[in-house]
Structure 1
């Protein structure tokens, strides 16, 4: 018995020794991070890495604020350089995200494959160079996001990168990668960009459904979705070529030259005459639309950045709060003074207030929206709680709300910045871009998913978005859409909302004086028609109530379709889409059912999302659809190509 007691006492001493002394065998996260900081050059931006007890307040650290658990480093825009000590980072057991974007690191890529728990790696906009070994990502099975853009990487795309099983976001643009594109194990991506490299050869079949912009700037690439590959054999290039100096050859050259000159002259003269005629006719026909676009540019702030810098200090002076209120779990990496010192330009000035792009020194680029017409009856605490609720929303198709600044007269909301501007700017010519059918389909699917998420996350609100329109859909570098200005109806002035917000243009507001749970779906339907036709919804330009505020665009599409179901309603930029017209017609019908005048006949958000998700880039088995819009199920009757042609003719 005494021996057993002695045994238990010894066991307890060993357990206590393990608890008390094992932590002393290894460094704390703070000590490890300080050693990592020492390996960096120009690390003045990390001067607040001092107090171990407040680790999560250190600049650039990502922490879960629920339990203060450290999980990542976001050391962006800090002018850092030197050596990325991966061996030291390996000692951080909870490190899953690492970003040093927009710094000055150079040389070959570090051995990140040692960090097998890493889920996100961001190295874009540095000076890394050289070939990346084929095994550089070996064993990183949890890695989902890899951003290596705008560096000097060369050689082939590493096979271990293509074999990552969970890869979701990949951005390799702006390097000098060469050779063929490998077959990627992952087939579905949220972001995918290989543009502006030196890649060549056929694009793998698994990537043929990607947007052409993902491969732009690689002169040697061919195959879908780019130009077809040249199959001409070598023997053809070796065929006998006639002697260019023979008399017969010279005579032929003169005759051909004279003929070409005459033909070119005739074509030029005819083209000038035709263009003048078309321009004159089009000006007469589209003059109202041009005026509408000008008015929209004025009322919605336009679509183009002002190039003159501005000072945000005057807008923020005399605020009721002395600091920015961040609403997301991770810290913003900047404060009010950083924002006031930022270089800023005007993005627009609309009915709600002004919008600025602010480029924070050693910090992120953000969008600052000033709202002058919010509901003064909403108290400060109620407003703060609502902003926190919006800040907690996370979805790939929402533009995240980062912070807000409160004062009674007006409020400032700070969002993340997306570099490709608004959908409106691309549809209506301000960005000189052409959106393909596949890109438009990708955009509308993202918009529908984002709207569905708002319906699910804000069930108590009749208008979970309230202001859904093309100028409030922001596109990132891969043309993924992000909704903005969502969830603001509860804090907006009611009179201002009725006069300007998109959902208040719905027919039920005209009929019954108030919107309902399907009013956001009506906005989705109008956006679908705008996306397909390229025409701006003129009803958004009119303020106040009245039956003429009905969807002019929907009325026009409906009148054309009922007379003759034709692809002429589509935007000229997608008219030539091969084998996609059937799917485009499906989307057109979805749009029309989403913006039905009768609320009872209008689809709800679940039905709209379901039908949109079924759409594909190309027609299946060349199925076409009936030449009229019935009040029943649009998908109950399919026709062959010949049957469709007969129905339209008759």
Structure 2
């Protein structure tokens, strides 16, 4: 038996050891078996998943935009998408951005679970309905479902396990019930929009340290605001009448103030009453003296503060003008102001000095220190902050300061600015450089000597200033339309590629060619400020349906067309929201119906001669751009095509006599 064991051991020792070649052969054999398994390629799986998802969608009038979803073509080519609405990175589908397509019905996300790299979903500005789709089966970072018709209660566990979620926009839907508590357990979330729904009950306790924005405005919430949210802006809780506690004004549990009772009859008599009143009189005198001293101290502090202000840099001077402009300037009608040039005295804090980021290579480079030392001229203060002209070497630039530009983080902001820097068109004012700081941003662009279109239409004209005659006005309108069309083609992912189109944001160069300014800033402007200040949110569709569309910029263009033709300052610029009674288009329509078309046009336009027909055609285009019903409003491509067909004609007659003969015909066409 012992000998048998020795023989077995000997045979084992004589067996050859496995070699590297053996392992390679084994790996190839296993791989061959795997190849024979019925698995498709990752891209084929992605294509099939997206096509299955497309079949679940109820497409609206814009369904033609999804015709590029071709199963015979890969959705992605590197970082470039072959399919509309698909976001790609390294050949993988990272997101879907199907906004403003009129999508209807319920949203079924189950087919998208086959996309392992999917991180972003955006279906904003559609007509999707039904309950909130199941999101927790997807590893999402950003979800944008605002401006739809989703309804019902959100399950309390709807967001369990979504450890990667950072942004959630569910605003302006019809959700009811309590805010799901699972949302308070999402560790990385920092931006939440639940405004404009019907959420009820108390606000759950959000304790995420990284939470930067939580908008709960215009719901039916009640009770105290959790202490963890007490430092948010009060506007985040507006429109909830039963909420209380910081940061809101009312304290929780405070009883209503009792009515002021009449003074009770005195129960004292003799000297005792006199002695009890003396301390009270003395206290009043002391309070008066202290109040006077405090007032004097406050005045002294203010004087010291104002004196120091005069010695600060022009950036701080511009900041001091933010709240001192007139009503017209606040509406965005600022032009160059006759302000004495000031020499900057640079005293920036050490931590504030940063680097100017240039987005164009054809401009002279300078740094923030040069900017602070430059001779500066205050230009005015618009809706978002002050702007001033600075002379750097031989170049004049305009610096605009923005404090309400914190809608995205640092990296997203840098990427968006670089994106704007790549835009090139004869009718766009190019962005030259920018400066990023968490508290404020600076945008640097070229100085345009002729000022804004608003200043030429509504400013105090002098003899040296050229009059905007009909040929110049038509040229300006054509340039604005072409610049806007370029923005639509270059920035297809933005619902409103401009978003703040008005006459004060149209500058005129030395040849009176228009340059669009303040464009494509909606993604980076704080949403609360955007809804109060930007022209897109003064449109009829936002007033009626709390949403903006691809045709919102067309409405803004229509207002400019009517403003240029009539010379009237649009009250729309001054209103917080759309008001049909103060709408320039409503006034023009009223004049047309009364057959007073000849009284509509600006007298300073001068003679139009044989262009009377062109003048009426442009008026008709402007009116159709301003249709309150978005479906009846012209598309931008139609507007550009119709405007390009217009010509200046010859100037040999008075425009009033020219158009009066055609007023009745035009009235019948429009009305």
User: Which structure: larger Rg?
Assistant: 2
TM-score, normalised with respect to structure 1: 0.49
TM-score, normalised with respect to structure 2: 0.48
